[in-house]
Amino acid sequence: MIIAAADGSALGNPGPAGWAWYVDDACWAAGGWPRGTNNQGELTAVLELFRATAHLDEELLVQCDSQYVINALTKWMPNWKRKGWRKADGSPVLNLELMQSLDEALRGRRYRFEWVRGHAGHPMNEAADERARAVATAYQRGGDIPAGPGWSGACEPAVDALVSPSLPEIDLETEVTAAAPTDADLRDDRAGADAVLFDFDDPSADWTTLTLELTTEEHTRLLERARAAGTSPDEFLRGLI
């Protein structure tokens, strides 16, 4: 499995914008535009990642801090397509060209998305965010665009090293909270649809609490996995969900 982070940035939203995907310091790419939105940057980062890895057979795990992007690609898109690329209220889907390109790029691929909290110290997410913001800043200041090496020969040897560790089978029965998306996540698409990762009764709530139980052995394994990932048990479980 190849693990990669994808992120976007827009100064002003809309404004000078950038996108980036990141595997490691020798394997990343970035780009952008003089004017764009944060969501366009987020979507393009995922699109360019899938295009860059189209020649590979490995499953792709995409770490993304945009619930709008994850929901659009994993939940909403089939209904949009059935309705002629229109939303439930009949209005056109936003960022249509990007959505259609992503629909094509994802076809036949093995992939999963993992939501990570942005600006919370997640190493790969921070690396992607820094590169996307650097491009947006370069467009703002008229500087050189840091495009990165792309998926070059330096990436290929890293694939085996990026295999996700096998996780223990866990009865997800310990207390964990899942954050609802913030206004910042949805700023330029808030009129389109609520980007909630799960269909709970009250998507406006700041937190939704799930009650779970673990055996002592499972709890110990969870702590070990979370410690190895450099995160808390709650954050580790939230990533699994």
Dump pLDDT digits (tens) for 189-223: 433 333 333 333 333 334 444 556 666 556 566 66
| 3-state SS class at 229 | helix
CA pair distance 148, 182, nearest whole angstrom: 30
CB burial class (10 A; 0-12, 13-18, 19+) of residue 166? exposed
| Domain shared by 222 and 182, yes or no | yes
Mean pLDDT of the chain: 78
Question: What integer is the mean pLDDT of 165-173?
Answer: 33
Q: Please, which pLDDT band fits residue 13 given cuts at 50, 70 and 90?
A: very high
Strand (E) or helix (H) holding 125: helix 123-141
| Domain shared by 230 and 128, yes or no | no
Q: Give the amino acid at 175.
A: E
Q: Which residues are known to be catalytic?
A: 7-8, 42, 65, 119, 129
| Domain shared by 88 and 149, yes or no | yes
| 3-state SS class at 186 | helix
Has residue 154 been placed in a domain? yes
| Domain shared by 158 and 182, yes or no | no
- pLDDT for the residue numbered 180: 37
Has residue 59 been placed in a domain? yes
- Going by C-alpha positions, the residue among 65, 46, 40 that lies closest to residue 103 is 46
Dump pLDDT digits (tens) for 183-192: 443 344 433 3
| Domain shared by 188 and 144, yes or no | no
Q: Give the amino acid at 142.
A: G
Has residue 95 been placed in a domain? yes
- pLDDT for the residue numbered 223: 66
Strand (E) or helix (H) holding 226: helix 216-229
Is 80 exceeded by the pLDDT of residue 2? Answer: yes
Has residue 193 been placed in a domain? yes
Question: What integer is the mean pLDDT of 11-33?
Answer: 97
Question: CA 130 from chain center: how many Å?
Answer: 15
Q: Please, which pLDDT band fits residue 159 given cuts at 50, 70 and 90?
A: very low
CA angle at 177 for the pair 218 and 216, rounded to the nearest 5°: 15
State the total domains in the chain.
Answer: 2
| Domain shared by 186 and 95, yes or no | no
Has residue 169 been placed in a domain? no
Out of 127, 162, 197, a domain closes at 162
Has residue 168 been placed in a domain? no
Distances (CA, A) of 25 to 40, 158, 172: 24, 11, 34
Q: Which of 8-12, 20-24, 99-103, 160-164 is least confident?
A: 160-164
Q: Please, which pLDDT band fits residue 155 given cuts at 50, 70 and 90?
A: confident
Dump pLDDT digits (tens) for 68-124: 999 999 999 999 999 999 999 999 999 999 999 999 999 999 999 999 999 889 999
| Domain shared by 153 and 53, yes or no | yes
Q: Please, which pLDDT band fits residue 152 given cuts at 50, 70 and 90?
A: confident
The CATH code of the domain that includes 62 is 3.30.420.10
DSSP state of 85: S
Q: What is the 3-state secondary structure (H, E, C) of 23-64?
A: EECCEEEEEEEEEECHHHHHHHHHHHHHHHCCCCCCCEEEEE
Is 80 exceeded by the pLDDT of residue 142? Answer: yes
Find the domain containing 94 and state its range.
2-162
Is 50 exceeded by the pLDDT of residue 141? Answer: yes
CA pair distance 154, 157, nearest whole angstrom: 7
- CB-CB contact of 197 with 66 (8 Å): no
